[in-house]
């Protein structure tokens, strides 16, 4: 009897260990496949974290919103922004402390509230890192930096938004995925 109970508990634990990551992956894939597409302009910044592998850290051009009453935002950790398409790029059209409906709203973390006239709330998107396979990371970092310092280059993140959740799909330079550009550079003979 006790041996059967231990086996059942072990099987349940194994199922739970697989269910949680599977559910997380499924949730992100659903956002990527069914979410509304937005492009967000980026600004340069790019570290390397030895514990997490290689990635590009993204800083977005639009990461703050003007508010009329900054003190109302002080005691909150999260807010909701509504994106609108403006000339092909996502722009913050509205901010709220309360959950919003629709596939154009994202839950973001409040990082700082500027008090003053006018006040502003600085926020962080739920995605700030774009991970790459190790062999492409250094070249991608260099390419990303060079592209951000060249004002003729269009560098942006492609995101998908669904039911208040967002997922980072790709980082693009002049309409091409950064991984494809790095692959093409690596294939060129020197």
pLDDT (tens digit per residue) in 86-104: 777 889 998 999 988 888 8
Percentage of the residues of the chain whose pLDDT score is greater than 70: 84
- Decide if 1 is inside a domain: no
Which pLDDT score is estimated for 150?
66
Chain segment 44-93, per-residue pLDDT in tens? 554 454 445 577 788 898 999 998 888 888 888 999 999 988 777 889 99
| Structural domains in the chain (count) | 1
Bridge partner list, 96: 80
Query: 180 near 134, Cβ under 8 Å?
Result: no
Chain segment 137-157, per-residue pLDDT in tens? 666 767 766 766 666 778 899
- Decide if 16 is inside a domain: no
- List, in order, residues 6 or more apart from 101 with CB less than 8 Å away: none
Domain residues for the domain of 66 are: 31-187
- Decide if 126 is inside a domain: yes
Instruction: Provide the token pair at 24.
Output: 């997380």
pTM above 0.95, yes or no: no
- Decide if 118 is inside a domain: yes
């Amino acid at each position: 009897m006790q041996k059967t109970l231990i086996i059942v508990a072990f099987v349940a634990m194994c199922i739970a260990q697989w269910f949680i990551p599977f559910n997380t992956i499924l949730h992100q894939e659903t956002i990527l496949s069914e979410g509304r597409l937005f492009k967000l302009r980026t600004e340069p910044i790019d570290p390397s974290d030895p514990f997490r592998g290689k990635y590009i850290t993204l800083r977005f051009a639009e990461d703050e919103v003007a508010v009329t009453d900054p003190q109302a935002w002080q005691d909150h950790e999260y807010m909701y922004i509504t994106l609108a398409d403006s000339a092909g790029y996502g722009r913050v059209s509205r901010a709220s402390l309360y959950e919003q409906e629709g596939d154009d709203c994202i839950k973001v973390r409040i990082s700082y509230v500027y008090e003053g006239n006018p006040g502003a709330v600085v926020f962080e998107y739920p995605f700030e890192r774009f991970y790459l396979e190790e062999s492409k990371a250094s070249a991608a970092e260099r390419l990303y930096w060079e592209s951000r310092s060249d004002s003729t280059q269009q560098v942006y993140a492609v995101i998908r938004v669904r039911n208040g959740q967002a997922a980072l799909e790709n980082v693009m330079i002049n309409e091409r995925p950064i991984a494809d550009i790095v692959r093409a550079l690596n294939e060129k003979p020197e």
